[in-house]
């Protein structure tokens, strides 16, 4: 079992920046991919970005490309989500998730461990 703990969610004004962190513990040897999803009020959870530990490759959703960046510390099994130029539409609960699949996927069904989520609120 993998335990994920997210941190860094806050309320910020539009144009601001935040950095989210997610630390994994437990059966971390099973993790091949770590990623971030988000769920805005009244909307379905959506993929944001993910990183594959084997080669450091990443994939990011078009909606945040150019503003968000994922990075990670493989040894510490920690991933970071740097969010710049935040917009009100980025307001959501951000979830960290891990996958045992060798390729980065955008479907929630590919991720088997989830954190509790951290709230990000962006105001005008």
pLDDT in tens, the chain (124 residues): 999 999 999 999 999 999 999 999 999 999 999 999 999 999 999 999 999 999 999 999 999 999 999 999 999 999 999 999 999 999 999 999 999 999 999 999 999 999 999 999 999 9
C-alpha distances out from residue 103 to 18, 54, 99, 107, 110, Å? 27, 10, 9, 12, 10
CA angle 95-76-45, nearest 5°? 10
- pLDDT score for 73: 94
Q: What pLDDT sits at residue 81?
A: 98
In sequence order, what are the beta bridge partners of 3? 25
Tokens of 88: 């009100």
Ramachandran quadrant class, 20 (left: phi over 0; alpha: psi -120 to 50; beta: rest): beta
């Amino acid at each position: 079992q993998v335990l994920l703990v997210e941190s860094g969610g806050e309320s910020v004004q539009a144009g601001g920046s935040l950095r989210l962190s997610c630390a994994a513990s437990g059966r971390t040897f099973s993790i091949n991919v770590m990623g971030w999803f988000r769920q805005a009020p009244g909307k379905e959870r959506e993929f944001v970005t993910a990183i594959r530990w084997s080669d450091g490759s990443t994939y990011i959703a078009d909606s945040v490309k150019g503003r968000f960046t994922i990075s990670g510390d493989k040894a510490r099994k920690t991933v970071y989500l740097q969010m710049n130029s935040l917009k009100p539409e980025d307001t959501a609960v951000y979830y960290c998730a891990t996958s045992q699949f060798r390729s980065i996927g955008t479907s929630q069904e590919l991720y088997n461990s989830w954190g509790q989520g951290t709230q990000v609120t962006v105001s005008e």
